[in-house]
Amino acid sequence: MSLQILVLTVLDGIAYGSLVFLVAVGLTLVFGVMRILNVAHGSFYALGAYAAASLGLVLSAYGISAWFAYPLFIVAAVAVGVSVGGLMERFILRRIYVREEYLQLLVTFAIFMILDNVQRLVWGVQPYFYTEPLSLMGNVTIVGIPYTAYQVIFLPLVALFILFGLRWFLRKTLAGSLIVAVTEDREAATAIGINARKVFFLTFIIGTTLASLGGALASPTTSVLPGMGAEMIVLSFAVAATAGLGQIGGAAIAALLIGLGRSSAVFFMPELEVVVPYLIMVIVLLFRPEGLFGKTTARKI
């Protein structure tokens, strides 16, 4: 095994883990607060990617510098997360909070299927490529290996920013404290007059925005095509479950673990690439059913 392959494995794992973290952290936040496992979370990843790629292609059609693509990615992610996520919470989820969890699971799965078809309807089935933001940042050479700065520096920085930003938000701001209060004890929170509906709404659009941000940032690194949402929801669920559902810091470590596991498989046992993330999840859950960082409490799913 050469050193270069090892370095490449680590870099691939970091790049991939950063993206998975962005999506998984939204999933785990929504579950931690609202106790709903949102299968449609993957759709927001896909919608974010499509929206970002479309806007990017418009930019290049008009010959506008791709530097504008970065802020535009954020705009696209927020627009998708807040509008589609907001509508979904307001008109669908709000009606099923008190229902059984299997029903909640079925409803979010149905929304996932609907949104998947909406994507095909709007964008068709041909893949979209918009890679300019990737090449624009150039390459860095790490231990003799050239790698795109976008994937190995920019994406991990965004992931770290989101991780610490989210922790700061939940611990230090008013709205964040209200979210934590509702998570810990919804009844007591309601008893002191906290509007749990508002808290749920805010939490959900933060979660969906994070998923679509993951998609938007992933779009330059991959071809945007149908099915990308399905792949991502399964993977981010594996990350969230490995970490322990609701664990934000844990999701970062689990994402890195699964990213590294996947890239190791790619280089050393390619035929296992697809199963490695789930293998890691299964092994962790066999020994720690509450996840690596989860607390031992009764869980719904």
Partner 1 sequence: MTALISAKDLAISFGGVIAAEGVSLDVFEDDHLAIIGPNGAGKTTFLNICTGYLKPSAGSVTFQGRSILGSSPRAITRMGIARAFQIPQLFTEQTVLENMLIAAASQARRFAPFTPLMQIPERKEAEHILELVGCDDVSDRPASELPEGKRKLVDIALALALKPKVLLMDEPTSGVASSEKFDIMDTLIGALREQQVTSVFVEHDMEMVSRYANRVAVWNAGHIQSQGTPEDVLQDPEVVRTVIGV
Residues contacting partner 1: total by CB under 8 A = 23
Among 78, 140, 175, 230, binds partner 1 (CB under 8 A): 175
Residue 74 within binding range of partner 1, rule CB under 8 A: no
- Where do the DSSP E strands lie in 98-142? 139-142
Q: Which amino acid is at 142?
A: I
Among 4, 185, 268, 289, binds partner 1 (CB under 8 A): 185
Give the span between the Cα atoms of 198 and 205, in whole angstroms.
11
113: its two tokens: 């299927």
Among 198, 231, 269, 295, binds partner 1 (CB under 8 A): 198
Shortest distance, CB of residue 184 to partner 1, whole angstroms? 5
Shortest distance, CB of residue 171 to partner 1, whole angstroms? 8
Residue 172 within binding range of partner 1, rule CB under 8 A: yes
Stretch that binds partner 1, among 4-12, 30-38, 177-185, 274-282 (CB under 8 A): 177-185
Stretch that binds partner 1, among 61-69, 184-192, 221-229, 256-264 (CB under 8 A): 184-192
Q: Which amino acid is at 278?
A: Y
Residue 184 within binding range of partner 1, rule CB under 8 A: yes
Task: Name the 3-class secondary structure at 145.
Answer: strand
Among 54, 131, 139, 190, binds partner 1 (CB under 8 A): 190
24: its two tokens: 């998984």
CA distance readout (Å), 110 to 41, 93, 101: 12, 12, 14
Q: Which amino acid is at 242?
A: T
Of residues 182 and 280, the one with the C-beta less far from partner 1: 182
Comparing CA positions, the residue from 200, 299, 236 lying closest to residue 26 is 236
Shortest distance, CB of residue 34 to partner 1, whole angstroms? 17
- Residue 75's contacts (CB-CB under 8 Å, 6 or more residues apart) are 55
Give the span between the Cα atoms of 193 and 134, in whole angstroms.
48
Residue 194 within binding range of partner 1, rule CB under 8 A: yes
Shortest distance, CB of residue 192 to partner 1, whole angstroms? 5
Residue 193 within binding range of partner 1, rule CB under 8 A: yes
- Residue 247's contacts (CB-CB under 8 Å, 6 or more residues apart) are 28, 32, 240, 291, 292, 293, 294
Among 3, 75, 188, 275, binds partner 1 (CB under 8 A): 188
Residue 32 within binding range of partner 1, rule CB under 8 A: no
In whole angstroms, how large is the CA radius of gyration of the chain?
A: 19
Binding site for partner 1 (CB under 8 A): 169, 172-178, 180-181, 184-185, 187-195, 198, 202
